[in-house]
Structure 1
Amino acid sequence: MGKIPVLEQCTVSYKEDKHFLADRLDVYLRSNNNLIFPHRHNFYQMVLFLSGEGSHEIDFKQYPIEKGQIYCMGPGQVHSWMFKGNMTGFIVNFDIDYFKSLLIQPSYVDNLNLFSSLNEGVFVLEDYQLQEISNLFNQLIVLNLEQTANDLKRSLLLYILLRLDQAYSPKFPGQSVDYHLVLIKNFISLIDENFRELHLPKDYAELLFVTPNHLNSVCKEYLGMQAGEVIRNRIMLEAKRLLILPDWTISQVAYELNFNDNSYFTKFFKKVEGKTPEEFRKLQWK
């Protein structure tokens, strides 16, 4: 069966370092003008737009491009862009293990708000932030030309990530990292690992050592939705990712997501999305 193309860092890098790339967006686009869309990455990507028109799409949500907008995307997300005219800005790619020799905690980058599945890693910088981040990206590009600056590149990139994380306004600003927020993050993490097999809130509540009612109330407070909806949204996202594959049948998608039969999956999909899997697929293939 076919899959959404997964682009590896080495296939989109025209530099000597296959684990890291920092460049101006227009230079990158000229060197990678044959990218296949939609696709996934097995690496992290950040893009800061300074000028240009069009839009980009991450996991089936479209964002119109504007000056100062930045997106931070982690491995596995489905991605495409529809640019118009001359695009300028910056792009940074780095692989999953890029900070391995620098950080004791391997999941440190994943735990940043920028890459958390609790939030959308797309936002617009204020003018003063845009000036600072642009200067830092310029420094990163200069360092990228130096063959012996690996630790400096890692350190500067980490500093940029932390400054962006500070500038980012997540869905629940001003709330401290308390027990409930930790519970939500653990819940999201468990869903990412188990959504194919576990479809019910009570299954996750048991793994989190809380009652289903407590899990529901915390999700309602922090996410504005019940636990069941959070689970359904993750299942739906994966369903959409699979439905855009031309050689996957509806039955194969249903089987992959552990639905007992095709008709049950179709009812589930239509109830959440408002259209059948077939209708969704036809819209994507237009």
Structure 2
Amino acid sequence: MLQNIPLYDICSLSDINQDDILISSFAPYLDTHKNLFATHRHTFYHLVLFTAGAGTHTIDFESFVVKPGQIYFMIPGQVHSWGFEGVTDGYIINFSTSFIQSFLLQHGYLDNFSFFSGNLADAVINLPAETYAAIKPLFENILTEVTNPGTSAADMIRLLMLQIFIRVNRVTAISAVNNNSSYNQTLLKNFKNLIEHHYTDIRLPKDYAAMLYITPNHLNAVCKDMMGIPAGEMIRNRVMLEAKRMLTNPQLSISEISLKLNFSDNSYFTKFFKKLEDTTPEEFRKKLLYDHGKQQL
């Protein structure tokens, strides 16, 4: 029988019944959770800093080469697998939204960081040497708070995590300032947020442009300038990503996925999928589950 792609919460990965935070050196974490090499999903935020290793890791069906000094960030719901070569080590932090939010007055604080947007171009970062040298001790200090907690250890962990986020964000923010105007950057971010909330029910760029109080031509120009693709393609790509995620669940029929994504009928959904992916949803699912079965062997 085909098995569903696993969905893990923090509690299922921790032996101390902790559902808000899990912090570890990466090598022992891998040794304990060998099942995580195969395709799986998270209900939590997840970040890893590699200090050693090679091979690949895959996020939302896009593969990345593992490099020491690389940090990656994932948000809940993304599909993930690992294909490491040799000894891989570093640091891992899994945390819930509430773990950080309980410490902050500003709601949605994590949305300020582009690497928590779900956009893979922002989520996998090869750190400059000076930034890597600055944040590696922060991870070590977090581990110290876990293994030998002092007074207000949880708050110290939160402070150290925020330092990591801010230091990494400074690297990505400098790149953004150097390449784009702040106005267009904000406009693109708002467009992405609108897509995230409306991709199942709003498909036309002109409708998003109206919500942003700009013309469709302006929106298209910004997307082409900053992303290299038109606005309509950004919308279609988000629909396609969700279709792929849903196809990891064999208990959902193609018709059910088509309905959830608001297609008028199954035939239209299949044509849409094949045009973008050059394969049918059924063929994509068959290959995905076959690859997942090989990973488990």
Give the drift of 1:281.
Answer: 2.2
2:143 alignment counterpart = 141
2:130 maps to which residue? 128
Counterparts of 1:219 and 1:54, CA distance in 2: 32
Q: 1:80 to 1:159 in 2, by over 3 A?
A: same
Alpha-carbon distance in structure 2 between the residues aligned to 1:259 and 1:137 = 45
| Residues 53-103 of structure 1, C-alpha deviations (whole Å, 9 max, x = no match) | 321110000112122121111112111112233221111111111122322
Aligned residues: 285
- Please tell me whether residue 258 in structure 1 is matched to residue 262 in structure 2: yes
Shift of 1:240: 0.8
Partner of 2:34, secondary structure, is coil
Show the counterpart of 1:285.
Answer: 289
Distance 1:3 1:217, change over 3 A: farther
Q: If each structure's helix is expressed as a fraction of its own residues, which one has the higher value?
A: 2
Q: In structure 2, list runs of 5 or more residues that go unmatched.
A: 291-297
* Counterparts of 2:49 and 2:17, CA distance in 1: 23
The 3 A distance-change label for structure 1 pair 54 and 135 is same
- Report what 1:5 is aligned to: 6
TM-score normalised by length of structure 2: 0.88
**Superposed displacement of residue 203, structure 1:** 2.0
Indicate whether 1:29 and 2:30 are aligned: yes
Q: Percent same amino acid at aligned positions?
A: 44
2:61 equivalent in structure 1:
60
Moved more, 185-194 or 99-108: 99-108
For structure 1, the residue ranges without an aligned partner over 5 or more in a row are: none
Matched, 1:210 2:214: yes
Secondary structure in structure 1 of the residue aligned to 2:100: coil
Distance 1:255 1:60, change over 3 A: same
Q: Which moves more between the two structures, 230-239 or 47-56?
A: 47-56
Corresponding position: 1:275 with 2:276: no
Q: TM-score, normalised by structure 1?
A: 0.91
RMSD, aligned CA: 2.2
Per-residue displacement from partner, 1:76-135 (whole Å, max 9, x unpaired)? 211111223322111111111112232221211122022124443112123333232221
Task: Supply the distance in 1 between the matched residues of 2:137 and 2:253 (Cα, whole angstroms).
Answer: 48
